[in-house]
């Protein structure tokens, strides 16, 4: 049985959205799920990844799936860059890579909300450069409603489509919420 190491969204825990239903759905598909909470307070991706990698080091990569939602997905993505897992499941990957930050679509309020230090750290990460370094199977999920809010997701889907081990899964009718029943249905069908 493979283990899914799942990282929630920024500053979230098990009770912030319907993570329990998502975890139950994944378990019903035959996986073990470990819900990983990180220290988000006054930290950046530069601290999140090593903290998560210390946990991931206790698992056999061939039997481990890295998964995350939003900023948790960015953290799982970066850990996969350093040490390829059996699979990588990215749920609503946050749009804060250098390509996103350079986009005119990035609203100043979003940048202010995540903070200057986090923006500076994310600006060092190029989705276009890092994605081809991941050789494991990748499932790239997003909700159709969040595409309306963050059109930058479209450039990512185009890049992910060029990878032979990657699959894009749209959660029809879902927004930026992995606990949404539409999102959970898409996960069940994909895994």
Domains along the sequence of the chain with CATH: 3-190 (3.40.50.1820)
pLDDT digits 0-9 by tens, 3-49: 999 999 999 999 999 999 999 999 999 999 999 999 999 999 999 99
What is the CB-side half-sphere exposure of residue 145 using CA atoms within 13 A? 10
At a CB cut-off of 8 Å and minimum separation 6, what does 185 contact? 171
Q: For residue 133, what are its two tokens?
A: 């370094």
Q: Looking up tokens 């990512």, which residue turns up?
A: 156
137-149: b (≥16 Cβ within 10 Å) or e: bbbbbbbebbbee
CB 149 within 8 A of CB 176: yes
Query: How are beta strands 137-143 and 3-7 bridged, if at all?
Result: unpaired
Cα distance between residue 39 and residue 44, in whole Å: 9
**pLDDT of res. 105:** 62
- Distance CA(164)–CA(166), nearest Å, equals 6
d(CA 69, CA 91) in angstroms, rounded, equals: 5
pTM: 0.93
Residue range 90-116, pLDDT digits in tens: 999 988 888 877 765 667 777 777 788
């Amino acid at each position: 049985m493979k283990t899914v190491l799942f990282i929630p969204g920024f500053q979230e825990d098990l009770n912030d959205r319907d993570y329990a239903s998502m975890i139950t759905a994944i378990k019903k598909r035959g996986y073990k799920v470990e819900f990983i909470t990180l220290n988000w307070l006054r930290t950046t991706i530069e601290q999140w990844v090593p903290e998560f990698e210390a946990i991931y080091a206790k698992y056999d990569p061939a039997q481990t799936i890295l998964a995350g939602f939003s900023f948790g997905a960015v953290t799982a993505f970066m850990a996969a860059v350093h040490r390829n897992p059996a699979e990588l499941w990215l749920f609503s990957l946050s749009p804060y890579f250098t390509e996103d930050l350079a986009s005119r679509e990035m609203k100043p309020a979003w940048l202010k909300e995540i903070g200057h230090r986090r923006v500076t750290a994310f600006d060092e990460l190029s989705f276009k450069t890092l994605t081809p370094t991941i050789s494991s199977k990748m499932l790239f999920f997003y909700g159709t409603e969040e595409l309306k809010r963050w059109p930058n997701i479209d450039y990512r889907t185009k890049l992910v489509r060029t990878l032979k081990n990657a699959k894009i899964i749209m959660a029809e009718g879902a927004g930026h919420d992995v606990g949404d029943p539409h999102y959970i249905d898409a996960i069940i069908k994909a895994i």
